[in-house]
Amino acid sequence: EDYQLGEFPDFMRKEMAEQPEAVRRALRGRLDSRFATAHLGGLRLDPRDLRAVRRVKFLGCGTAYYAGQIGANLVEELARIPADAEPASEFRYRNPVVDPDTLYVAISQSGETLDTLAAVQELKRKGGKVIGAVNVVGSAVARECGSGVFLHAGPEVSVASTKAFTNMAVSFAMLALWLGRVRDLSAAHGTRLVSALQQLPDQIASILETDYEVAAVARKYAHASHMFFIGRVRGWPVAREGAQKLKEISYVHAEAYQAAELKHGPLALIDAQMPSVVVVPRDELLAKNIGTIEQIKARGGPVIAVTNADLPDGLADAVLRVPRNEPELDPVLLTIPLQMLAYHVASALGRDIDKPRNLAKSVTVE
Ligand code: G6P
């Protein structure tokens, strides 16, 4: 392995820092400004095949599954094709209905996760059309799928996935754009998305520059035993991934919840010892998310908002800001401060960041 730590204290930090470059690599040669679309050559599907797709299902484990949820939202938004994500492990055990008009996307950084590989094999046995979204070229999932999109994130060593997650989301934005543009996504909308994608690397770099502020927030809340991560719609997979990052590397119990579901149970847990990280994209649900923060505050819960919106002064106890882009890409940017937050909570608690207890980088056994 010639992938070295260099100036960095651990691989997670290095891999977070590499995200602007990783996204640049994922985009390179794939955006088409002239036709306002993206091309993913490895898919080996022509527009006729693309138009035949009636449903898209994303399958993956852990972080890859949450990235799949972002993918499903993007496909529904941009291509108006019904889409969802499911843990690959559940899929393979539940005798799934495999539909010939569905495009299945098997997502895996390593390409070696046994549950994901087994889901692909099950799909192939039942005649499903499955493509890979894989980082490691030549890996088992990539070989088994035979076609797909490589993530081009570069080597990822830290157990907690960061740049691979980001490149999964970016790749799914390109897939959704492509699927959209052979349907009824307008050229104007496609053009906006192409230039929005091109802005991502610099925007991610600017979020990484807020490290000092995120670290201060992390230190303030690192003593908490539990944290909620709250989001709705575009913010929901972001909240899930944020909770995953925090629990895996800091061992702080983190639970993600859909904002509107809080009132059906979890609100009972809110008190001064239970901080909530609320994901607040500047979209048509902004007022709803502000209402969610007010509900939590009214019960004495501290709130950390992750947002690209201008929130009323004093609404949240801490605000982690990201730049604005096209709203469809908000999840990509809103996830970055949550990686940083988890990182700094874990480091304040003195955890072994790259090798959390009981976890493996890729799980190749049952
Ligand atoms: C393990 C890792 C996670 C990862 C998951 C899926 O649980 O600890 O970070 O998200 O496997 O890995 P994959 O290589 O398939 O993306």
Beta pairing, strands 37-38 & 31-32:
antiparallel
**Nearest partner of 176 among 53, 283, 308, judged by Cα:** 53
pLDDT value of residue 63? 97
Please tell me the residue having the least CA distance from ligand 1 atom 11.
362
Backbone phi, psi, residue 256, to 5°: -95, 145
Which protein residues are within 6 Å of ligand 1, measured from CB?
Answer: 61-64, 108-110, 113, 116, 159-161, 359, 361-363
Whole-number average pLDDT of the chain: 95
Q: Check 57, 129, 247, 361 and give the catalytic one.
A: 361
How many alpha carbons fall within 13 Å on the CB side of residue 1? 7
Packed helices 330-348 and 187-208: angle between N→C axes, nearest 10 degrees: 20
pLDDT digits (tens, 9 = 90+) for 66-81: 999 999 999 999 999 9
Determine the residue type at 225. S
Distances (CA, A) of 261 to 230, 239, 268, 275: 10, 14, 12, 17
Q: pTM here?
A: 0.96
C-alpha of residue 299 to centroid of ligand 1, in Å: 36
The ipTM, to two decimals, is 0.94
Determine the residue type at 292. T
Give the residue-averaged pLDDT of 180-194: 96
Percentages of the chain per state (helix, strand, coil), in multiples of 5: 50, 15, 35
* 327, burial (CB in 10 Å: exposed 0-12, middle 13-18, buried 19+): middle
pLDDT digits (tens, 9 = 90+) for 235-289: 999 999 999 999 999 999 999 999 999 989 889 999 999 999 999 999 999 999 9
C-alpha to C-alpha distance for 4 and 24, rounded to whole angstroms: 21
